[in-house]
Amino acid sequence: MKTLFTTDYKDYERDWPVSRRPSARALILVGDKIALVYAKNSGYYKFPGGGIDENEDNVTALIREVEEESGLSVIPESVEEYGVVHRIHASELYKGTIFIQDSYHYFCKVKTDENGKPIISKQTLDSYERVEGYELRFVSIEEAVQTNLNFKSDDFAKLDMITRETLVMEKAFGLLEIMPRYFAESILERGVSKNPGVWREHSIAVAQAAEKIANAINKSALLHKKPKLMNPDLAYTCGLLHDIGRQNGPTYIAHVYDGYNFLKSLGFEFAAKICLTHSFNLQNADDYIGERDVTTEQMQEIKSILAITEYDDYDRLIQLLDSVCCADGSKDLEKRMNDVKKRYGYYPEGKWNKNFALKAYFEKLMGKDLYEVIR
C-alpha cells in the first residue's frame, strides 16, 4: 500500500525496544457525504476503524472495527486500498520504548436497504469511546475538515491524532492541506521550549498578519465579485511555522532546511515549502543573508527544490511578512531590513527592492495600505 506520510518526532533512542499496533480505517462515501465517527463530547471527526488484532488480517479488522464503532456494515468486495500513515514516537505508556503505528486506509462501501439508505446496527463501544461520545454522522468532507481545523485541546497526543485524521481527509479528497490551528500552535510552543527566543513572537506576528491580509484580500475580491483568493487558516498556520527550523538551535540557512524537513515529516508538504521559500524572495539561495551552516549536499538540495518550485501568493506573503515583522514587535519593512543590514553588514539590493515590490503587490490585491491592515 502506498505511504501517505510518516509522522516521526524522533523523541526516542534508536536502540529502544519497539512495540507495534497497526490499525485499519475506512473512507466511506454515501452520496455526497462521508460516513465518519463524531466524538460529540470532544468535538472532532475521525474515520471509523481501529486496532488490528494479532493474527487478524487488515480487511477483517476493518469490517469488525467499522461495525463496532459506527454500526455500518462494510461490503467486503468493495474494499479498495488507499494508503498507509506511519507514526513513530516514544511510547507514553511504556517509558524507554518506541511505539510504531501503521494505519491502513481503505475506501469501501456499506450495505444499504432497498431505498439505498445505509443499514445501521447498534454500536459496541469501549469505555474510551463511550467517554468521547462516538456517534455515526454523515457529513460533507468540508464540514468535517473545518470542524477538525478548529479543534482545541491541551492534550497533544489527541491533537496529533486529529491532525493525522484531518490530513488524510484533505489528501483523500483533494482539499488544501491545512494544519489544525491549535496543533500548529502546539508545535510552535514545543519548538520554542527546545530553543527559546524572540522567533516565537516573530512567528506569531507573521501568522496574525498573514491571516489579516488573507481576509483583506478576500474582502476586496468579494467587493469585485470575484471568488475568495486566499485561505486565512492556511496563511496563519504557514506563517506560524515558517521558522520552525529554529527549534534545532541558533542556526542560519540551516533553519530553512530543518523546518522544511520537519514539516515534510509531518506530512504537510505545503507548509514545508514555505519554510524553504521564505528566505529567498528572488528564488535564489545564493543571496541568503547569514552563514551557510549546511553541508554542500544540503545547499544543493535547497537550490534544486527552489529551482523547480513555482511561487504562489502564500510563498510571497510569508516572504514579505518575514521582512516586515521586527524583533521588537513593530511592523515596518524598512526598519526590519535596516536591522538586518546592521546585523550582517549588508542587504542585497535586489532582495530589498523585491520586498517593496511584494508590498505593492499585496496592497493592490487588498486595495489597502499594508500597515493599515496589519498594525
Residue from 243, 254, 280, 294 in contact with Fe ion (CB under 5 A) = 243
Question: What number of other Cβ atoms are within 10 A of residue 136's Cβ?
Answer: 18
Kindly calculate the radius of gyration of the chain based on its CA atoms and give it in whole angstroms: 23
Specify the residue, 68 or 243, whose C-beta has the smaller distance to Fe ion. Answer: 243
Nearest-approach distance from CB 335 to Fe ion, in angstroms: 17
Measured CA to CA, the distance from residue 196 to residue 245 in angstroms comes to 13
Please, which of residues 92-111 interact with Fe ion by CB under 5 A?
none
> Does residue 188 contact residue 262 with C-beta atoms inside 8 Å?
no
Q: How is residue 195 annotated by DSSP?
A: S
> Of all residues in the chain, what percent are helix, strand and coil, respectively (each to 5)?
50, 20, 35
Specify the residue, 34 or 302, whose C-beta has the smaller distance to Fe ion. Answer: 302
Nearest-approach distance from CB 255 to Fe ion, in angstroms: 6
Q: Among positive and negative, which fits the CA dihedral 150, 154, 158, 164?
A: positive
Nearest-approach distance from CB 212 to Fe ion, in angstroms: 20
Specify the residue, 70 or 319, whose C-beta has the smaller distance to Fe ion. Answer: 319
Specify the residue, 102 or 243, whose C-beta has the smaller distance to Fe ion. Answer: 243
Stretch that binds Fe ion, among 21-29, 38-46, 237-245, 262-270 (CB under 5 A): 237-245
Question: CA triplet 231, 256, 174: central angle to 5 degrees?
Answer: 35
Q: How many chain residues are in contact with Fe ion, going by CB under 5 A?
A: 1
Nearest-approach distance from CB 304 to Fe ion, in angstroms: 20
Specify the residue, 105 or 354, whose C-beta has the smaller distance to Fe ion. Answer: 354
Stretch that binds Fe ion, among 1-9, 121-129, 178-186, 238-246 (CB under 5 A): 238-246
Nearest-approach distance from CB 246 to Fe ion, in angstroms: 7
Measured CA to CA, the distance from residue 341 to residue 319 in angstroms comes to 17
Output the nine-digit C-alpha cell for 62: 476493518
Q: Where do contacts with Fe ion occur on this chain (CB under 5 A)?
A: 243
